[in-house]
Amino acid sequence: MNNNFLCPYCKGHLKVNEQIVFSTSTQNGKSGLTCLSPQIGNYAIVHHPSFEINKGELVSFYCPICHSNLTSNLTDRLVKVMMVNDSKEEFTVLFSGVLGEKCTYTLSQTQNEVMSYRVDSSNYVNFFGASPEY
């Protein structure tokens, strides 16, 4: 699988050399670049040691290209990006912006299908209730 990750606003490519790159900031005003794994369910996070994020801290994610805020409109605790797979199928990927919270959703744009991958996902299950709007 060679998934591409795109900004939902400018459609710019966020994946560079097997890392997804974001501009991020914490609630107490620190900011820096953060890289995540393009593997769904891999929560490895890479950032410069001078940019400290504490476990449990809510991090705001921005597109490093157009600087759009990538916070989901479902809840400010989820971050939204676009994923395009080898077959050019488009998905919306939602993941938790809270450091240490392992939660990712992949939503197929054709099937409105919610697939939750990991542990803390039950926290957000209610956001995908009877009448999905995505």
Asked if 63 is part of the footprint of Zn ion (rule: CB under 5 A), the reply reads yes
**Residues in a beta bridge with 91:** 83, 108
Measured from the CB atom, is 59 or 63 closer to Zn ion?
63
Question: Which amino acid is residue 92, in one-letter code?
Answer: T
Site for Zn ion in 74-113 (CB under 5 A): none
Q: Which is nearer to Zn ion, 9 or 134 (CB)?
A: 9
CB of 12 or CB of 100, closer to Zn ion:
12
Q: Which stretch binds Zn ion (CB under 5 A): 16-24, 56-64, 71-79, 107-115?
A: 56-64
Task: Give the binding range for Zn ion (CB under 5 A) out of 12-20, 53-61, 94-102, 106-114.
Answer: 12-20
- Looking from the CA of 76 toward its CB, the CA atoms found within 13 Å total 6
Residue-wise over 101-112: b if at least 16 C-beta within 10 A, else e? Answer: bebbbbbeeeee
Which of 117, 108, 114 has its CA nearest to residue 131?
A: 114
Q: Per CB under 5 A, does 10 bind Zn ion?
A: yes
Sign of the four-CA dihedral 95, 97, 98, 100: positive
- Of 16, 46, 66, 119, which lies in the binding site for Zn ion, with binding defined by CB under 5 A? 66
In three-state secondary structure terms, 47 is strand
CB of 12 to Zn ion, least distance (A): 5
Tell me which residues touch Zn ion (CB under 5 A). Answer: 7, 9-10, 12, 63, 65-66, 68
